[in-house]
Structure 1
Amino acid sequence: MDGNSLAALRAEIRDIYKSDARPWVVGYSGGKDSTTALQLIWTALADLPPEERRKPVYVISSDTLVETPVVSRYIDVSLERIGAASLEQGMPFEPHKVMPDVDRSFWVNLLGRGYPAPSRRFRWCTERLKIEPANEFIKSRVAEFGEVVMVLGVRSQESATRAQVMSLHKIEGSRLSRHSSLLNAFVYAPIADFSTDEVWTYLLQEQSPWGNDNRDLVAMYRNAASGECPLVVDDTTPSCGNSRFGCWVCTVVERDRAMEAMIDSGEEWMTPLLEFRDDLAKTQVPDDKLKFREHRRRSGTVSFIGDTARPMPGPYTMTHCRKMLKQLLITQKDIKASAPEGENTTLITEPELHEIRRLWRSERGDWEDSVPRIVREVLGKDLNWVSDDAVAFTADDGELLDSVCAENGVPTELVVRLLDIERASHGLKRRHGVHTGIEGAFRREWRDIDEIVAERIAKLGDSGQDVDADELDDAEDAEGVTQ
């Protein structure tokens, strides 16, 4: 990409920007591609007279709340600089950080509801943590302006799938494409034809207009790749930039090589994060899933894998959720003590802790009120917990109920569910939902797993089949876990 090509691209950016009144929304992740796209747009619009750059350009960055701390800090600093430089230079850029609602956050779903750690076949996190928050922002701008143009740092060379998707939604005779799912949203990809080498060459030759040092970005990629970005001299030389930054807790990949490389490059304080992530990944080993997870689905039913007597794993057990929450807080405490000044060391927020407590108390029968106790044990403090009403049950009530149910041969969990249904409707004038809730409780499977499996084996007889590791790994029932 020579100087003439860049000049032509900047001219194209200016022409598209001036062609209509639709605001632009630039997706900015802090990575090399989105940085290149934003920097090109900035320098292109800077050549317009002030009266021609009135149309807003929103710069949005998704904060999943579980970003790798080093990357999170880099993005936060960058957004601050973008906002300050835009005001100082009279540019139309407005930075915004979008985040998932507390109810949709990673920890509320993993710990609160017991969703299993994401995997390649069950990646429930992407939609909730990244796509939904960004789409909500875009929809709000569509509602305000009628239409918007999304500017993305996507490139055809990233993958054949990416190239196919970009081509599929292309508008004939236009540089814009239709958004694949959002009405009245269009996509402009200014660096679609850039190679990885051209991206790095551009970043190292062009200064950041908002005051970043692009060499810091190169260093982040170099550290994550556990090696230097080589000088590209021919087509056989591997280029820098194949590393992927993402959530520190990601279990979609077998190993988090980027975080391992960062630790090897001097960020030893992140070691507890990697250890927690690796422990979480162990819960996804097919043969071990039922050690950590319920044999019932969230709906209360039991499903089996194919024609076998192997139960389909459901959500994490309450015992394991308590264990993970405690370890997460210990990890947070450890990195707060060792992280360099300025690093973001908050792993789970107070609103998330409050929501997890609410879910455990209202949906999972946590009469002992575990969250405040765990927080107190690990952090040595109490949060501003919401006091329960007079009909709340306690750990002592739970012990008494256990003994009574054992004497009468009734599943304790069933009685807990029935009492929680009654408690939730206490004081309401209209109680029409109580009977529905009670009927639903009795439709759930409350028997012991051994009894259920024995019945299944007897039913299958000689027709039962064995299940291999690949089938176990494939048998992730998203609906059963999340609904």
Structure 2
Amino acid sequence: MSNEQFLYCSHEDFVKESVIADRPLLDLIREIQHIYKSDNRPWVVGFSGGKDSTVVLSLIYMALKTLALDDRHKHVYVVSSDTRVETPVVVDMIHEVLGSINSQSPIDEIPMSAHAVTPDTDQTFWSNLLGKGYPAPTKAFRWCTERMKIDPVSEFIKDKVARFGEVVVALGSRRQESSTRAQVIARHRIEGSALGRHSSLQNAYTYMPIEYWSSDDVWEYLMSAPRPWGGSNRVLFELYKGSNAGECPLVIDTNTPSCGNSRFGCWTCTVVTQDKAIEGLVNTGEDWMRPLLEFRNQLHESSLPENKTEYRNYKRRTGKVTFARGAIDDDSSTATRHVPGPYWMKYRKEWLRALLEIERTIRDGGRDLELIGRDELQVIRQQWLKDPNEPDWIDSLPKIYSEVYPHDQIEWIRNDAGAFTAPDAEILGSLELEHGVPAALIMKLIDAELSFSGLSRRKGILDELQKVLEQDWGGLDEALERHSSPRHSDAYKVAFESLKSEVDGLLK
């Protein structure tokens, strides 16, 4: 679709002549201009790359472009959340828009700049899933949204609040998206104003210019005129075509619903059973993304209730076996159930290797794509070395990387996680088979001892040793027995407390 194929030759002509959602579009543009001019609060425009946020960004850009130069008195920040696992073709489109805004706005003398925000390296999807062993997100445990979307955008907004006192956040939210969204919008609306209060950020106010638009209204706008910063919405239209999914809005609070079934979400999202968005992309010609879909499906399979015991450690990251009361399957009655812990280390290693191999294959095919950041690999390596249940004392990650990328060297952070090497682990492993004492238990006890070495006063070492010994070192069956018969470990506790008191007396 070329620009000549639009119904209107220019954005200005379309704005002057159109009526959308029973309101002249020119009237909405004037409203945006009036709110913009009414105070000194800078604006933050949430941009996800989807149809709704593209319309809002376009409207605001057009409103400023047709405003007198003297009235363009405050800055507009366009912020886009890059979770680092966004659908690759969407990332390319978003970067193109942000780049166009930053290059065209100075030419048009519009005080606007575009920014992409990302989660902290230790809070990314891979740092949590592969590093800490967090299970793939589900509806019941959607740990990803706050870490990867809400926090980075909130920090950006809070920074502007700290600098300017207050800000206005413009969003592409629409009442027709869901009844829940409509209730949230209504609940935070300031009476007699087009603005609402942000649900969680102080001194931040929300503005939703297309609140009453339908999906058809949105598409009428997008396909009727070129974008005011240049180009067309053809790529956006092609991404939506053939998919039943909507967009993933810029998430600024926990009231925003999951977008795992959407065109504009994370390619790793396992909140839904079937990712129609990625399937749609594959079926419409993006066949190079098929390995990503298969990898995502494997992660989803690991989150199914019947597979939890296979993929996940029976202990939590505390080293303890945890039980909770809750419903069992579809039964309305409750019972004590075992709560599994993080993914086993062997699966994390397998998935990292598979992810790197997919990335390398895609790169060999001519696409400059990074599925996992090298800074994330540094964090994951440290998390593996210090894992509370299965510390990777043989330091596997650099070897995995070098086997997939033999000609690519990374300067790894010095290994200061512990005193053990691969030969040490091998020796203790053979002793475990011979004597039945877990090698990890011995390693942790020695680590605790070494952490107190050289200190003039070693008071507290017994507390540290006790923490190690009180972890669940037997199998799941033993933990279940202890849970049902707490007296099973009473003798150990009495003996240890007696020894602790005796040694404490000597150390005083």
TM-score, with normalisation over the residues of structure 1?
0.86
Counterpart position of 1:261: 280
Aligned residue identity for 2:372:
I
Q: Larger deviation: 30-39 or 217-226?
A: 217-226
Residue from 64, 70, 82 that aligns with 1:63: 82
State the secondary structure of the residue aligned to 2:338. Answer: coil
Give the C-alpha shift of residue 54 in structure 1. 2.5
Q: Which one of 371, 390, 397 corresponds to residue 397 of structure 2? A: 371
Corresponding residue for residue 19 of structure 2 = 2
Q: 1:450 aligns with which of 469, 477, 498?
A: 477
1:370-409 correspondence runs (5 A): 370-380=396-406, 381-388=408-415, 392-409=419-436
CA change 1:420–1:331 in 2 (3 A) is: farther
Residue ranges of structure 1 left out of the alignment (5+ in a row): 227-241, 460-483
CA contact (8 A) 2:49 2:264 kept: no
Match of 1:233 in 2: none
Distance in 1, Cα, partners of 2:379 & 2:210: 41
Find out whether 1:130 has 2:149 as its counterpart: yes
- Deviation of 1:52 after TM superposition, in Å, equals 1.2
Is residue 360 of structure 2 the alignment partner of residue 333 of structure 1?
yes
Residue 443 of structure 2 corresponds to residue 416 of structure 1:
yes
Structure 2: distance between partners of 1:251 and 1:196? 26
| AA in 1 matched with 2:380 | I
Corresponding residue for residue 478 of structure 1: none
Query: Which structure exhibits the higher relative contact order, with contacts defined as CA atoms closer than 8 Å and separated by 6 or more residues?
Result: 1
Name 2:186's counterpart in structure 1: 167
* Structure 1 residue 334: Cα displacement: 1.8
Q: 1:182 to 1:426 in 2, by over 3 A?
A: farther
Tell me if structure 2 keeps the 8 A contact 1:153–1:192. yes
CA pair 452-214 structure 1, distance change in 2 beyond 3 A: same
Q: 1:64 is aligned with what amino acid?
A: T
Q: Distance in 2 between matches of 1:323 and 1:427?
A: 39
For residue 180 of structure 1, what is the aligned residue in structure 2?
A: 199
Tell me, in whole angstroms, the C-alpha distance in 1 between the residues paired with 2:178 and 2:421.
55
Aligned residue type for 1:365: P
Partner of 2:216 in structure 1?
Answer: 197
The Cα of 1:312 is off from its aligned counterpart by 1.3
Q: Which amino acid in the other structure matches residue 253 of structure 1? A: V
- The 1:198–1:309 alpha-carbon spacing in structure 2 relative to 1, beyond 3 Å, is closer
Amino acid at match of 1:357: R
- Out of 112, 133, 141, the residue aligned to residue 114 of structure 1 is 133
Shift of residue 417 of structure 1? Answer: 2.5
* Cα distance change on mapping 1:85 and 1:456 into 2, 3 Å: same
State the Cα distance separating 1:425 from its structure 2 match: 6.5
Task: Confirm or deny that 1:141 pairs with 2:160.
Answer: yes
Mapping 1:213-228, distance limit 5 Å: 213-225=232-244
Alpha carbons 2:385, 2:417 under 8 Å: kept:
no
Equivalent-residue separation in structure 1 for 2:180 and 2:450 (angstroms): 51
Q: 2:317 aligns with which of 293, 298, 301?
A: 298
Aligned counterpart, 1:321: 348
Task: Output the CA distance in 2 between the equivalents of 1:21 and 1:429.
Answer: 60
Change (3 A) 1:390 1:333: closer
Note if 1:439 corresponds to 2:463: no
1:105–1:128 contact (8 Å) kept in structure 2: yes
TM superposition shift of 1:440: 2.4
The code of the aligned residue for 2:35 comes to I
What root-mean-square deviation, in Å, do the aligned CA atoms of Structure 1 and Structure 2 show? 2.3
Which residue matches 1:237? none
CA distance in 2, matches of 1:108, 1:332: 17
Once residues 432 and 183 of structure 1 are traced to their aligned partners in structure 2, the CA distance between those partners, rounded to angstroms, is 46
Q: Deviations over 1:261-285 (max 9, x none)?
A: 1111111000110010011111012
Shift of 1:386: 1.9
Q: Note if 1:355 corresponds to 2:379.
A: yes
After superposition, the Cα gap between the structure-2 partners of 1:437 and 1:50, relative to the gap in structure 1 and judged at 3 Å, is farther
Is 1:43 the counterpart of 2:43? The answer is no
Contact 1:272 1:334 in 2 (8 A): no
The one-letter code of the counterpart of 1:415 is: I
Q: What is the DSSP-based 3-state SS (H/G/I as helix, E as strand, rest coil) of the residue aligned with 1:65?
A: coil
Residues 83-130 of structure 1: per-residue CA shift (max 9 Å, x gap): 001111110111000000001011000011000000111100000000
Percent identical pairs in the alignment equals 48
Conserved? CA contact 1:28–1:59, under 8 Å:
yes
| Corresponding residue for residue 225 of structure 2 | 206
Q: Partner of 1:311: helix, strand, or coil?
A: strand
Per-residue CA deviations over 1:108-167 (Å, capped at 9, x if unaligned) read 000110000001111000000000000000011111001111000100110000000000
Corresponding position of 2:490: none
CA contact (8 A) 1:248 1:274 kept: yes
TM-score by length of 2: 0.82
Residue 421 of structure 1, CA deviation: 4.0
Offset of residue 310 of structure 1: 4.8
**C-alpha distance in 1, partners of 2:457/2:132?**
28
Q: Does 1:81 align with 2:100?
A: yes
CA gap of 1:453–1:172, structure 2 versus 1, over 3 A, is same
| 2:385 partner amino acid | R
- 1:222/1:419 CA distance change after superposition, 3 Å: farther
The answer to whether the 8 A contact 1:294-1:317 is kept is yes
Aligned-partner Cα distance in 2 for 1:413–1:309? 29
Aligned residue-pair number: 441
From the CA coordinates, give the structure whose radius of gyration is larger: 2
Please, which runs of 5 or more residues in structure 2 have no aligned partner? 1-17, 246-260, 326-333, 487-508
